[in-house]
Amino acid sequence: MYPSLNIGALDIQVDFDRAVELARTHGFRGLDFSVVQVAELAAQRGLEGIRGQLARAQVRLGAWGLPVHWRGSEEEWRKGLARLPEWAALAVALGSDRAVTGIMPGDNERPPEANRAFHRERLEPIVQILAEAGCRLGLEFIGPRTLRTTFRYPFLHTLEEVRELARELGPSVGLLVDLFHLYTGHTPVDRVRALGRREVVAVHVNDALPGRSPDEQMDLERALPGEHGVMDVVGFLQALAHIGYDGPVAVEPFSARLAALPPEARVAEAASALRRCWEAAGLSWLETTRP
């Protein structure tokens, strides 16, 4: 596994060139990215131009957010489906076979059974297109009780529940495992040791806020990994190493304190926090992150 910079998770708005440079400067060996943005650059520079840029920076492409609006109207969904083969082929050609999307823990219109049918209907064609391109899809489960109780109808919100949906969708579907959602879903980090290596498509790390129980945590109020010691970041990384996870690990804090800093300072703090946890877990920063 390797540390991957996700600028969106740090609330930073910069272009791809700047994102690559920030990743290189601060020791990240991966970059989670917008496949739509990279496709536009590839049309201008060609694949070799982007490959050369990444090689010089010693940065690989990590995970990309699924750009298909599958929760929206049928028109939006089908429009995204039409472009997805192009996007997936481009990502794989540039070394990334990991797309991710979130599963909301509730719905105001569909009861659970109808919502599950909707998810399967909308996601199955996406999964097929991605698989044909050699790409996997990671589903993120979202744990906070404070969020799921805002919906009229509850839905899947734990590792095991979304793991079951992933299995129904096929062997190329796995999980985006976010430590915050494990914690708020009352799932111990050791549960990760029971997962297969390919079941974990992408990873996010962070910390919860002190003075709140798991059920009191707010989805968009988090901290840097290890900042407060509320969650077991070290044990989580060790569990991932145990199963041989080989993908990106991105910092996703949603921190008001961090957001008040200049963009480069946010990246520097994220890199420093992740490295401390990485080395505390007994992992070699250089050996485990070399492209």
Per-domain residue ranges for the chain?
2-280
| pLDDT over threshold 80, residue 290 | no
Of residues 44 and 287, more confidence is placed in 44
Q: Give the separation between CA 291 and CA 287, rounded to whole angstroms.
A: 10
Confidence grade of residue 285 (pLDDT, cut at 50, 70, 90):
confident
Confidence grade of residue 112 (pLDDT, cut at 50, 70, 90):
very high
Q: Mind listing the pLDDT tens digit for each residue in 28-49? A: 999 999 999 999 999 999 999 9
| pLDDT over threshold 60, residue 287 | no
| pLDDT over threshold 50, residue 7 | yes
Provide mean pLDDT across the span 59-68.
98
Q: Give the separation between CA 204 and CA 156, rounded to whole angstroms.
A: 19
Task: Tell me the pLDDT of the chain averaged across its residues.
Answer: 96
> Which contiguous run of DSSP H or E holds residue 98?
strand 98-103
Q: Mind listing the pLDDT tens digit for each residue in 157-204? A: 999 999 999 999 999 999 999 999 999 999 999 999 999 999 999 999
Domain over 2-280 is classified CATH 3.20.20.150: yes
| pLDDT over threshold 90, residue 291 | no
| pLDDT over threshold 50, residue 54 | yes
Q: Give the separation between CA 91 and CA 248, rounded to whole angstroms.
A: 15
**Under a CB-based contact definition with an 8 Å cutoff, are residues 126 and 70 in contact?**
yes
Provide mean pLDDT across the span 268-273.
98
